Amino acid sequence: MNYDYIEIVKKVADPEADKYIFGFMNPTGYYNDELKGNQHYKNYVKNISSGGKCTIRFSPQTRNLKISVCPSKWATGQNVELIGMDSTFKIFRDFENELGLELGDAWITQVDLTQRPITEFNVGAYTPFLCSFPNNQIYTRLMFNDTLTYSANSSPRSLTFYDKNRQTRDKKANKKVDIPNHLIGKNITTYEARLNSSTQITNAMKIDKTINPKPELNFLFQDEIVAHLDTYWRESYQSIPKLTDIGFDLSGVNDGAGVIKAIKEFNNAQVGRTNIEALIKIADDSGAFGNRSQKSYATKVLLKPFKQKGKKNSLIEELDFKIMNSKINWD
């Protein structure tokens, strides 16, 4: 687990700081700072050597300074391969020096917890075995091309799987995106847990809200907090239903009814659990269920064999191993 995207907000009390902020974001136009290696535009700064950008906005009325950055893109021009914690920390230290502000106490409003394991196959081979939560509790499963997103129903957070190599190739049509040579042609299956509010970040960090009501930037680099976020990232993955495979099992069967049941369960497994879930959704969207309890009952009956007898597909076992054995990159 590493940080693919970070957004922070800093309350700037001292008006004297405005000249440094506006100098950094340069609201009147553009200038090139060759000494520091940055190009300054109205709402963003560009790293000349890497081409990476940092978005920066400041409101003199609210006194809120917002900084959004993909650390790996800022440092290297690409985020196919993620930089580690120490390099990310240095980026914000450099921003502090540019702005003349302490950013450690800025509160975090978004952070993407990400890992990109190299898998045997494209992400599309794995998504059919990553199933829906029962009756869309907690997350709703959404599929678009090869990207699978679990969108939380009651809070601004999500879990997402996508092919990073494909995403990078698609972007190349519009702008230059470099892929490290040793990763070209690899199946880079990204798993990302996105936390899009300070409340969700605080919960994932397991910090005491009575002491720290908002998550601060400096928390992202503390060993204990990093461990909590890594645990959240792993446990979120583990919570996704993945029992899909049912064999033709006649053990304990000694009559025709048992044989019929075994064949039906085997046939359901051949149709595929995610396909059955999709058919339930179609029926629900078309109004075929008289009420919500009927949908819940149908879902329970149709998915019960998977929960009782289902096993993980070998592809999921591989994905489990790659994700659960990934390491935090400290540089």
Which tens digits make up the pLDDT trace of 191-209? 999 999 999 999 999 999 8
User: What number is the average pLDDT over the span 212-218?
Assistant: 94
Query: Where does the pLDDT of residue 176 fall: very low under 50, low under 70, confident under 90, or very high at 90 and above?
Result: low
Query: Where does the pLDDT of residue 72 fall: very low under 50, low under 70, confident under 90, or very high at 90 and above?
Result: very high
User: Which carries the bigger pLDDT value, residue 179 or residue 222?
Assistant: 222
Above 90 in pLDDT, residue 82?
A: yes
Identify which of 2-6, 98-102, 174-178, 303-307 has the greatest average pLDDT.
2-6
Query: Where does the pLDDT of residue 34 fall: very low under 50, low under 70, confident under 90, or very high at 90 and above?
Result: low
| 293's tokens | 């309890």
Query: Where does the pLDDT of residue 175 fall: very low under 50, low under 70, confident under 90, or very high at 90 and above?
Result: low
User: Which carries the bigger pLDDT value, residue 136 or residue 6?
Assistant: 6
pTM of the model: 0.87
Please state the domain extents for the chain.
2-241, 243-312
> Quick one: pLDDT at residue 170?
61
User: Which carries the bigger pLDDT value, residue 194 or residue 100?
Assistant: 194
User: What number is the average pLDDT over the span 278-300?
Assistant: 93
- Mean pLDDT estimate for the chain: 89
> Quick one: pLDDT at residue 200?
94
Answer yes or no: are the C-beta atoms of 121 and 322 closer than 8 Å. no
Above 80 in pLDDT, residue 255?
A: yes
